Structure 1
Amino acid sequence: MENDTRSKLLEIATPLFATKGFTAVSIRELTDAAQINVSAISYHFNGKEGLYQAVLAEQLAPILQALQAAKSNAALSPIERLTFYANQIARIHAQRPFLARFMISEVTNPTNYGGPIIEAHLSQVYEFMKDTLQEGITQGNFRADLNLNYAAISLAGILNFYFITKPLIQKFIPLKPEANTEYVDHAFHVYLHGIMNHSPSKKLSQP
């Protein structure tokens, strides 16, 4: 029963926080929507701040799981590792339509409660991308003149910008149900072509 209440609060709070923002959502609004006692938020999350942090952690968990899966599979080449991660991003955003809202909100106007969580998450993504790109340079797959910082930031932007701006994009571009996957596949391969080492002396392994 306790787990049911906790899960219900997370389910109710996610769209409210995503669409209205942390400050605009009241405890009364949350408990009325969930049809539970006001004290439940304090009991399960130590207050609205803790609930908000739990929502963010739940939204971001699949991305961190994808990072761990990519890093722990030693059989994957750098190209395959980045491809795997890119494909997971498309799947995750499709399953969590509010994730992009939380990300852009906490990047542009961070709260004291969510800002550090998003910052820690982006730091892990950045380090994964930078390390994988460096490995690809060492193996001769990627261009030796890559600026690792810019290349990592570019890939993160390419993979997430579409989802952040999707509500606007839909106003002037008709998007099919499979657009998430198609966009990531297309954008990632354009990016991959740009960072590849095209030297004829190096035989490249394609994903």
Structure 2
Amino acid sequence: MNRPRRKDGEATRQKILETAGELIARNGYVGTSNKAIAQAAGVDMAAINYHFGGREGLYLSVLSEAHRHFIDGAELQALAESQQAPVDKFSAFIDMLVMKLKGMAGWYSQVFFRELFSPSVELNAFVEFEGSKKIASIRQIMSEVSGLSESDPRLLLCTLNVVAPCLMLIVSAGRVPGPVSTIYAMEKECLAEHFKRFALGGLKAVVD
């Protein structure tokens, strides 16, 4: 009897999460009430508290799910701790970013987009408890490929230079007219290869 109940509970939790993500993507966090989420998901208000501990917990889960579609923490950590050569790790990291960002659809990209340009208070909690682990893995990969110490302030700047062009893919997502849309329409493999060459050239210039 416990297993069916557990499956039902997981299904309810996922239904609430998906519904919240869709509504928040459309109306924003402030513009989306727990009541609206509960009604759209077909559950009572108590279910939100039961599965997520309240409004903040639900939104943190929405952020986590959206960010997981952008970059999976376990996958990133496994890559950082692998025995691959530094340049191969870096190459796989860029491939991971480009392939996932170009493939992001639905509410995931919209929630991510909103947080990029209008960060919520909850974003701080997300970065502290989950985002920090991903940042640590990225820092490790960047340190190894560049030869810069993780404590070197230049490493943070280099990381921004590497990640920012990739983030433009989610910002545009074909919505921004002009050159950015042209870039977004390019093949994933071509974009990834260009980002790698450009980034590695920049890293070499910084270190030299």
1:185 pairs, out of 155, 168, 193, with 193
Q: Which residue of 2 aligns with 1:2?
A: 9
1:166 pairs, out of 170, 173, 188, with 173
Using a 3 Å threshold, how does the CA distance of structure 1 residues 164 and 33 change in structure 2: closer, same or farther?
same
Q: Which residue of 2 aligns with 1:202?
A: none
What is the TM-score with the length of structure 1 in the denominator? 0.75
1:19 CA drift (Å): 2.8
Q: State whether residues 90 and 141 of structure 2, in contact with CA within 8 Å, keep that contact through their aligned partners in structure 1.
A: yes
Pairing 1:41-190 to 2, within 5 Å after superposition: 41-61=48-68, 62-74=71-83, 76-97=84-105, 98-118=107-127, 123-138=132-147, 147-169=154-176, 171-172=177-178, 173=181, 176=185, 179-190=187-198
1:73 CA drift (Å): 0.9
Q: Which residue of 2 aligns with 1:200?
A: none
Q: State whether residues 19 and 37 of structure 2, in contact with CA within 8 Å, keep that contact through their aligned partners in structure 1.
A: yes
1:167 CA drift (Å): 4.4
57-66 or 31-40: which moved more? 57-66
Give ranges in structure 1 of 5+ residues lacking alignment.
Answer: 140-145, 198-207
Q: Which residue of 2 aligns with 1:20?
A: 27
Q: Which residue of 2 aligns with 1:30?
A: 37
Query: Aligned-pair RMSD on alpha carbons?
Result: 2.9
Q: Calculate percent identity across the aligned residue pairs.
A: 20
What is the TM-score with the length of structure 2 in the denominator? 0.75
Provide Cα deviations, 1:42-87, integer angstroms capped at 9, x if missing partner: 121122221111111222234312321211211x111111111111
Aligned partners of 1:124, 1:153: CA distance in 2, in Å?
17
Using a 3 Å threshold, how does the CA distance of structure 1 residues 115 and 49 change in structure 2: closer, same or farther?
same
Give ranges in structure 2 of 5+ residues lacking alignment.
Answer: 1-7
Could you tell me which amino acid in structure 2 is paired with residue 24 of structure 1?
Answer: G
1:124 CA drift (Å): 4.1
